[in-house]
Amino acid sequence: MQDLDPELLSALLAVQHRAGQRGWPFYVIGAGLPSLPATLSASKSYAERLYNYRAIAALDEEASIAALSRPAEERGVRFDQQALSMIVSAAGGYPYFLQTYGQAVWDIASDRLITEADAADAIVAGTAELDMGFFPARWERATRSERDYLRAMSESGDAPVRSAVVAERMGVPPSRLSPSRQSLIEKGIIYSPDRGLVAFTVPHMAQFVLRQRE
């Protein structure tokens, strides 16, 4: 929902507000990046009172294993335990990454037992695919100064980092970076999980940024 046209988003919020006041059976159920609550509040100040927000975290290890192994088993294919662990670790519980690495290993494996070697090759192939489309779609929206900001953030990996620390790494006052920070939030590339903190909206973005530096 964070990518909706601003006028459409504003209209949806206004109708939802009116529906709540008049008891109309009208509901908005949507999904978005962690920056979505801030986007809604920026559109209509009362938006935070309209909705129940539910955070959808990464899949845990058990669910990640099931997402890979069950479809394979239904087709008579098994994962070597080490191969399964490698892909689950590389995906970090992110469903899109599980799909990407899962498809890669399915295409690479030549036997009904998916081996550790198959998994290693699939991680290389899957990461290359992510580097061709998933990550660049975000990176290319950033200006040169915003990319410098992302590089400074990436030194902390995927963990949230204080805006003041980012400014210190760049050698500039925090106030000077406020426009870049706000623009990156509006573009959905980073978000603020708490006051004074920034983090990437998708996992492994930090590693991608570091690869661009290399």
Residue with more model confidence, 189 or 49: 189
Give the pLDDT confidence of 77-133 residue by residue, as tens digits.
999 999 999 999 999 999 999 999 999 999 999 999 999 999 999 999 999 999 999
Q: How far, in Å, are 89, 149, 164, 165, 205 from residue 173 at the CA level? A: 37, 13, 8, 10, 25
Give the pLDDT confidence of 149-208 residue by residue, as tens digits.
999 999 999 999 999 999 999 999 999 999 999 999 888 899 998 889 999 988 899 999
Averaged pLDDT, 43-59: 87
Domain spans, the chain: 6-50, 61-132, 142-213
Give the pLDDT confidence of 138-148 residue by residue, as tens digits.
999 999 999 99
What's the pLDDT score for residue 202? 87
81 vs 156: CA distance, rounded Å: 31
Give the pLDDT confidence of 4-48 residue by residue, as tens digits.
999 999 999 999 999 999 999 998 899 988 878 888 888 998 888
CA angle 93, 96, 99 (to 5 degrees): 95
Output phi, psi for 113, to 5 deg: -115, 115
What's the pLDDT score for residue 147? 96
What's the pLDDT score for residue 126? 96
Output phi, psi for 196, to 5 deg: 85, 0
Assigned CATH for 142-213: 1.10.10.10
pLDDT confidence of 214, banded at 50, 70, 90?
Answer: low
What are the structure tokens assigned to 84, written together?
């399964």
Closest CA to 65 of 119, 20, 141: 119
Return the residue matching tokens 């006052």: 173
Its CATH architecture, for the domain 61-132, is Orthogonal Bundle (1.10)
For the chain, the helix, strand and coil percentages under 3-state DSSP, each to the nearest 5: 60, 5, 35
